[in-house]
Chains A and B, each alone.
Chain A
Amino acid sequence: GAGVSQSPRYKVAKRGQDVALRCDPISGHVSLFWYQQALGQGPEFLTYFQNEAQLDKSGLPSDRFFAERPEGSVSTLKIQRTQQEDSAVYLCASRRGWLAGVRGTDTQYFGPGTRLTVL
């Protein structure tokens, strides 16, 4: 596709409900990232996939958060038993390559985000 797409754009959940957020990266992009952005803050890293492999999930705040990318393209971020503190914008980003280092890293292209509100 032309860019990273995410769905739904807005989600309202009652506390305790499970939610699933979808990310469609740019076609052919190897790397996929999930970030959480609270109001007035910068994006905070949640997890990173290289193809279907989840290489880093150090940013997931609790075991209620789970992400997958089974076929190396579309990814889903699932939040179980949502809490009010989970309210945020969840951003997905994809990157063409997977190597990074002293020469820098490929551009990350962000999707529009899913705004999650937990009541």
Chain B
Amino acid sequence: GQQVMQIPQYQHVQEGEDFTTYCNSSTTLSNIQWYKQRPGGHPVFLIQLVKSGEVKKQKRLTFQFGEAKKNSSLHITATQTTDVGTYFCGSGNTGKLIFGQGTTLQVKP
């Protein structure tokens, strides 16, 4: 079945440094969604990408969907301590989401 792999599993950065997490699939994805889960919290929707090569920005966050629709990335510029949490990508055709394993971001002040 469809699998979504996400790397890295963990990332520690100094506040102000950039951060990127990558999501990869061996099959073409119809869409990709990104969620953020704070420690002890639940996944909160960030954005959805559906078009090949699509790029969307939310303030310091940049989301990309690959041309082949098999990979995606989330890039955070100049991280802040409020960015701490686990970032998940997910994809699904029928509504149910298949999630990656997540990338946990730690930011040192």
Contact = CB atoms under 8 A, between A and B. Distances in A.
B42 A100 contact: no
B97 A102 contact: no
A48 B41 contact: no
A54 to B, nearest CB: 12
Nearest to A113: B42
Contacts of B99: 42-44
Interface string B79-109: 0000000001010111111111110000000
Interface residues on B, range: 20 to 34
Contacts of A35: 97
A42 B100 contact: yes
Interface string A31-58: 1010100001111110010000000100
A50 B16 CA distance: 44
14 contacts: A33-B95, A40-B102, A42-B90, A42-B102, A43-B43, A91-B43, A102-B30, A102-B31, A103-B50, A104-B50, A105-B92, A110-B42, A112-B42, A113-B42
Interface of A: 31, 33, 35, 40-45, 48, 56, 59, 91, 95, 98, 100-105, 107-113
